[in-house]
Structure 1
Amino acid sequence: MTHTSVAATQPAAKPSFIALLIAASAVSPLGINMYLPSMPGMARAFGVDFATIQLTLSLYLAAMACGQLIIGSLSDRFGRRPMLLIGLLVFVLGSLVCLTAQNVGLLIFGRVVQAIGGCAGITLSRAIVRDLYGRKQVASMIGYVTMGMAVAPMIAPTMGGVLETLYGWRASFVFLMLFGGLVLVVASWQLHETNHNRDAAGSIRQLLHSYLSLFRSRLFWGYTLAASFVSAVFFAFVAGAPYVMIELMGRSPAEYGFYFAIVPSGYILGNFASGRFAGGVGPNRMILAGTFVTLASVAGMAITFAMGFLHPVALFGPMFFIGLGNGLVLPSGIAGAISVKPEAAGAAAGLSGSLQIGFGALVAPVVGATLGSTVWPLITIMAICSLLALASFGLVADRRRSNPATRV
C-alpha cells in the first residue's frame, strides 16, 4: 500500500487530535519567544555582553535545525508517536537545566537540550498531517495547524515580559517546563500512530537514499529555500528587536512583549488565508504573494526609519505584514517540500524544517554582531533575506514551466 493511499483512507482527525498537534507544535516556539524580553536582563545577571547571551537563541536554532534532520527520518522508520514522546521528555529536561543554571555556559547547554527535544513537535506535526490528508489538502491543513500554533509566539513574549518584571528571568523556564510536561502527558494518552508505512523507510541506507533524492529535487529546493529565507526575515527580527526596543529606544521588557503580539497577529491572518484559499488558489501563488508582501514590508520599515521615526510602531507595524507574508508562504512552502516524495514525508519535513530553522540560526548571530547604535544592520539583513526568498521561488517557477504537469 502506498503512502498516498493510506492518507486517503485515514479517517478525518478529531478536533481534539488537531488541538494536540497545535500544542505540540507550540512547544518550541514558546521556547524561542518566551524569554526574549529577558535577554538584556539575563546578560546583566550573568555579567556577559548581549552577543554572548544571544548564543542562547542562535544555538537553540542551530540545535533545532540538527534535531529536525534526525527526528524526521527516525519517525519514518520507528513511527511518529514514540519520537514525539521522547522529544517532549527531552524538552522538559532541558527546561529544568535552564531553570537551575548558575552560569551562562550551563544555560546555553540547557537551551541546546531544550531545542533538540522541542523540535519534535514542529517536525512531526507536519508529518502527521501529511499522513492523514491527501496532497491537495496538506497546505490548507498545515495552514490551520500553524494558525493555531501562532498563538504561542503571540502571547509568549507578553507573558515572558510580565514574568521577568514580577519574578525574574527564571520564571519563564518554570512555565516552559510545566507546559512541556502537560503536553507530554496528554500526548501519551491521546496520540495514536499515523505512520502505517514504516516498512518503506527500511534501513539506514534507504533513509540516506531518501535524503539524496530530496537533495536532487529542484522542486524541493525551490519550496524549501523560499520558505527558509522568508522565515529568516522573521528570525533576524527576533534576534535584533529586543536590543533595538530595550537598549536603543529605552523601552521596558514588558512593553516589548506587548508590542510583539502584533507580529503573530499577522501570521495568524496569513495562515488563515492559507487554510481558506491555498486549495483553490494554489500553493505557488500563495508563496509568490507572501514573498512580495514581505519584501514590501521591509521596504516600508526602511522608509519609516529613514524619515527619523524612532518609535516601536515603526518597528512592529511593518512586522505585522511580514508576519502575514510568513503565514502565506510557510504552509504552502512546507506542503510543497513534503509532497515532493510522499513516501519520505518525515525525512522531507525534517530536512526542510532543519534548513528553515538553520537559516534563522545563521542570521541571528550576524544580527547580534552587527547591531550597534542604529537599526540599519537589522533592516539590511531582513532586506537581503527577502530578496533571496524571491530569487529562490524561481526554482519552482522554472520547474513548472519546463513541466506544466507538475502539481503539488
Structure 2
Amino acid sequence: MRPAQSPPALITLIFSTALSVLSLNMFLPSLAHMATDLNTEYALMNLSIAGYLAVSAVLQLILGPMSDRFGRRPVILFCMSVFALASLGCVLADSIWVFLGFRLMQAAVVGGSVLSAASIRDQYPPNEAASKLGYVAMAMALAPMLGPMLGGTLDMLFGWRAGFVFYTGAGAALLMQLWMDMGETNHSRSATFGAQLREYPHLFRARRFWGYALCAAFSIGGFYSFITGAPLVAAAWFDLSPAMLGLGIGIITGGFMVGNFVTGRIAARTRLTTMILTGRIIASIGPFCGLLLFLGGQGSVWVFFGSAIFVGFGNGLTNANASAGVMSVRPQLAGSAAGLSGAMIVALGAIITSITGALVSPENGPYLVLSMMATSSFLGLVAVLYVRWVDAREPLPDAI
C-alpha cells in the first residue's frame, strides 16, 4: 500500500465504483427468499431497490458538495464506514422494517462512485480524466454481469444473508484500502460553505454543464428502457428462456465495456465532444434501424438484441467523456457537479423506466422498446450538439 498522502491508485477507485454497483443488484436473485424469511410481501420487499435508488439520488446531491468543502478522503471514508455497518445491520435484521432501515443506509456507498470520479478529475486534465474514467466504467459494466450470479450462488449455498455478509466484508476491506491508499486530491477546497455556495450560481448558469449532464442522463436512459422492456419482448415475441434473456441483456453490457475500453485507449488525445458525438450517433442509429426492420416485417431476436449492442457501445464512448465534461466546467466544484449529474441520471432513469413499464405490452413490445431507446439516444445527441454550439460561440482557452 502507498501512503495515504499520495493520490489513490486507479484500482482503489475501481473497487470503490464496483462495490457501489454491486450493492444495488447482487442480492436481486434472493428477493423472493428474503420476502418469505422476513414474513412480508414481495411488493414491500421491492422497496429495498426503489427506496435505495431514491436515497442514493439524494445522497449524491449532498456528498458531492461535502467533498468540495471538506475533501474527498474524509467523505469517502465516512461513506464506506456507514456502508459496512449498515450491511452488518442487514445481516442481523429480524424484521422487514429493521432490514429496510439498514438497507437504505447502505446507499451511502454511492459516495464510492461519485467521489472516485471527482478524485480522477482532480488529478488529470479533462481528456486524460475521460480516459481514466473509461477504465473505471468498465467495472460498472462488469459488476452488473457478475453480481447477480455471485448473489444467487451465495443464496443457494448459505442463504440470503450470505450476500450481506459479503457486503460487510467487502465494505470493511475497502474501508481499510481507502484508509491506507486514498490520499486527498481536492487541494482547492472552499474556506467556508458560504464561499462554496457563492460558486454554485456559476455552475448552475453554465450551459455546458447542463448539456453534458443531460447527454449522460439520456444516454443511460436508453439502457433503462431496454432492461425494462426486454424481458416482456423476450417472452412474448421470441419465447426465450431466462438464461437466454440474461445473455441478451448481457450483450448491451458487453457493448458498453468495449466502448469504455476504446474510450480508455483514445480519449486522452481526442476532443471530448468528438467522442461523445460519435457515441451518440452510433447509439441512435442502432435502435432506429432496428425499428425500421421491425416495421418492415424483418424483425427478429438478432435485430432486437443487435440494436442494443449499438446503444451499449455508443454509451461506452459517451459516458466517461460526458462525466469528464460535467466536472470540467467548474473544476473547483467537481464533486458537486458529479453529484448533481448522478442524481439527474437516477431521476431520469426512474422516469424512463416508469414510462416504458407503463406503455410496453405483448403487442407493441419491440416497437415501443426500440422507439424509447432511439428517442433517448437521440436526445443525448441533441444535448452534445448543444454543447458544440456553445463551444463555437464561447470557446474555452483549453477547449474540451
Short-chain TM bin: 0.7 to 0.9
- Structure 1 position 402 matched with structure 2 position 388: no
C-alpha distance after superposition, 1:176-196 (max 9, x if no partner): 333222212221222222222
User: Does structure 2 retain, via aligned residues, the 8 Å contact 1:58–1:360?
Assistant: no
- Structure 1 position 78 matched with structure 2 position 78: no
C-alpha distance after superposition, 1:9-31 (max 9, x if no partner): xx9967xx111100001112112
Distance 1:30 1:238, change over 3 A: farther
Q: Distance in 1 between matches of 2:120 and 2:137?
A: 11
Task: Give the drift of 1:217.
Answer: 0.5
Q: What is residue 132 of structure 2 aligned with on the other side?
A: 141
User: Does structure 2 retain, via aligned residues, the 8 Å contact 1:154–1:262?
Assistant: no
Q: What is residue 205 of structure 2 aligned with on the other side?
A: 216
Name the aligned partner's letter for residue 151 of structure 1.
L
Q: What is residue 41 of structure 2 aligned with on the other side?
A: 47
User: Does structure 1 retain, via aligned residues, the 8 Å contact 2:20–2:112?
Assistant: yes
Q: Secondary structure at the match of 1:197?
A: coil
Q: How does 1:274-313 map to 2 (within 5 A)?
A: 274-302=263-291, 307=297, 311=301
Match of 1:389 among 376, 380, 384: 380
User: Does structure 1 retain, via aligned residues, the 8 Å contact 2:209–2:325?
Assistant: yes
Match of 1:196 among 166, 176, 187: 187
Listed as ranges, the gaps of 5+ residues in structure 2 are none
- Structure 1 position 263 matched with structure 2 position 243: no
- Structure 1 position 333 matched with structure 2 position 322: yes
Task: Give the drift of 1:73.
Answer: 0.8
Task: Give the drift of 1:211.
Answer: 2.5
Q: What is residue 34 of structure 1 aligned with on the other side?
A: 26
Name the aligned partner's letter for residue 20 of structure 2.
S
Match of 1:59 among 51, 73, 80: 51
Q: Distance in 2 between matches of 1:259 and 1:173?
A: 28
Name the aligned partner's letter for residue 291 of structure 1.
R
Name the aligned partner's letter for residue 16 of structure 2.
A
Q: Distance in 2 between matches of 1:42 and 1:135?
A: 44
Name the aligned partner's letter for residue 358 of structure 1.
A
Which shows bigger deviation, 212-221 or 185-194?
185-194
Q: What is residue 82 of structure 2 aligned with on the other side?
A: 90
Which shows bigger deviation, 178-187 or 221-230?
178-187
Distance 1:385 1:95, change over 3 A: farther
Distance 1:249 1:163, change over 3 A: farther
Q: Percent of aligned positions with the same letter in both sequences?
A: 37
Task: Give the drift of 1:136.
Answer: 3.8
Q: Distance in 2 between matches of 1:87 and 1:248?
A: 44
Name the aligned partner's letter for residue 209 of structure 2.
F
User: Does structure 2 retain, via aligned residues, the 8 Å contact 1:155–1:261?
Assistant: no
- Structure 1 position 205 matched with structure 2 position 194: yes
Q: Distance in 1 between matches of 2:211 and 2:124?
A: 23
Q: What is residue 61 of structure 2 aligned with on the other side?
A: 69
Which shows bigger deviation, 207-216 or 361-370?
361-370
Counting matched residue pairs gives: 390
Match of 1:185 among 176, 193, 196: 176
C-alpha distance after superposition, 1:289-347 (max 9, x if no partner): 11122222323554576658675x66544333322111110111011110111121111
Task: Give the drift of 1:208.
Answer: 2.4
Task: Give the drift of 1:243.
Answer: 5.9
Match of 1:22 among 8, 14, 21: 14
Q: Distance in 1 between matches of 2:76 and 2:381?
A: 34
Q: Distance in 1 between matches of 2:124 and 2:7?
A: 9
Name the aligned partner's letter for residue 211 of structure 1.
Y
User: Does structure 1 retain, via aligned residues, the 8 Å contact 2:216–2:322?
Assistant: yes
Distance 1:340 1:154, change over 3 A: same
- Structure 1 position 113 matched with structure 2 position 105: yes
C-alpha distance after superposition, 1:239-297 (max 9, x if no partner): 44456657987766665545443333222211111122223231111111111222223
Q: Distance in 1 between matches of 2:201 and 2:95?
A: 41
Distance 1:103 1:287, change over 3 A: farther
Name the aligned partner's letter for residue 51 of structure 2.
L
C-alpha distance after superposition, 1:103-160 (max 9, x if no partner): 6665554443222x12101111111111211234211121122224432223123333
User: Does structure 1 retain, via aligned residues, the 8 Å contact 2:128–2:268?
Assistant: yes
User: Does structure 1 retain, via aligned residues, the 8 Å contact 2:29–2:148?
Assistant: yes
